[in-house]
Structure formats: C-alpha cells, structure tokens
Amino acid sequence: MHPIYDELGGSDGVRTAVTVLYNRIAADPELAPWFADVDVERLKAHQRAFLSAAFGGPQVFSGRTAGEAHEGLEITDAAFDRVVGTLMTTLADLGVANEAVVVVGARLEDLRADIVSAGLVSADLVSADTSGEPRHPLVEAAELAGD
Ligand code: HEM
C-alpha cells in the first residue's frame, strides 16, 4: 500500500480527496472553464491519470501521451500551478504529511513541459524558423553595431 493511501485512510479516503479536489476545481473561476464541458467518463479518466501520476502509480494515459491528451487545450503555466496547488492543499487539509505533499508536487512538476501549451508554441516557433543557424542576440547586436 502506498504511504499516501494509508495517510488518507485507504480507498475511502482517496475517494474523499478526489471529491474535494474536483469540487474545488469546479468552484475555481480560473480552472472551471477547462473542465466545464468534459463528460463524466473523461473526467474519471482524468482523475485516475492525475492521481496515479501524483501518487507515483503507473502511467494510465489511455493510449495517449500526456502531451497528446492535452493538445489544443491551451493549458497555461498558471492553470497548471493552480491544479497542482489545489491538490497539494487538499491533501494537506486531509492530514497528509507535508513531506509527502511536497513529493506529490515534484512528481507532477515533471509533467509540466508536456501539458502546458507554451511547450507546443515554442516548438512551432523553432520549426518555423528557416533562416538556418540560430543567432545569439548579442551576436546580432554586435553585427548591427558594425563589429
Ligand atoms: C499534472 C498532471 C496531469 C495529468 C497526469 C493529466 C492526465 C490527463 C489524461 C490522461 C487525459 C486524457 C483522459 C482520457 O483518456 O480521455 C487528460 C485530459 C484532460 N486534461 Fe489533464 N492531466 C494533468 C493536468 C491537467 C491540467 C493542469 C489541466 C487543466 C488546467 C488538465 C485538463 C484536462 C482536460 C480539460 C482534459 C480533456 C478531457 C477531454 O478529453 O475532454 N489536465 N489529462
């Protein structure tokens, strides 16, 4: 049994934590829009994947990578911070030890680059650049100055 499952009181405790977490997300005007039109089955899939990643369980992305699952959702760094922060606060409120809460935050942090859309935007910019060699801004400035 995973220590966090024990601290939350087993499967009933985890169920309570999930309910509290998604009630808080739904009540948060900065997060609710992302989840508003998601159907129940997909929301459950999200809960399983999110908690499995948080608690160090197996990857349960239903045939899709984390990046593919969030493609086009335009998830911002701020939204990512809020979802992870809401989970951490929920776990702390339900009595999970601080060290374990910090571990959860760090595990989810590893997925940020795949989930936040800024990663896709910068990849687009790189592939759209056909000018060849990347140029350091200082090199460019020196050329303009006539060096
Ligand atoms: C940090 C770890 C996260 C994990 C491991 C995760 C995992 C997943 C997975 C596996 C799916 C696909 C579900 C399916 O099979 O249909 C999914 C979809 C989705 N995720 Fe996440 N997610 C994370 C963070 C976030 C965040 C921060 C947001 C929003 C702020 C978010 C919003 C959504 C939405 C709206 C969907 C789409 C549901 C649909 O297909 O309609 N996720 N996520």
Contact 107, 51 (CB under 8 A): no
22 lines ligand 1 (CB under 6 A): no
Residue 146 binned pLDDT confidence (cut-offs 50, 70, 90)? low
75 lines ligand 1 (CB under 6 A): yes
Over residues 73-119, the pLDDT tens digits come to 999 999 999 999 999 999 999 999 999 999 999 999 999 999 998 55
Question: Which of these ranges, 5-14, 34-43, 105-114, has the smallest mean pLDDT?
Answer: 5-14
- The Å distance, Cα 137 to ligand 1 centre, comes to 37
115 lines ligand 1 (CB under 6 A): yes
Looking at domain 3-144, its CATH class is mainly alpha
**What are the angstrom distances between the C-alpha of 143 and each of 3, 70, 129, 132, 134?**
59, 41, 20, 17, 14
Question: Which of these ranges, 2-6, 57-61, 67-71, has the smallest mean pLDDT?
Answer: 57-61
- The Å distance, Cα 61 to ligand 1 centre, comes to 9
59 lines ligand 1 (CB under 6 A): no
- Which residue has a Cα nearest atom 23 of ligand 1? 50
- The Å distance, Cα 70 to ligand 1 centre, comes to 6
Name the strand (E) or helix (H) holding 36.
none
Residue located via tokens 């087993």: 10
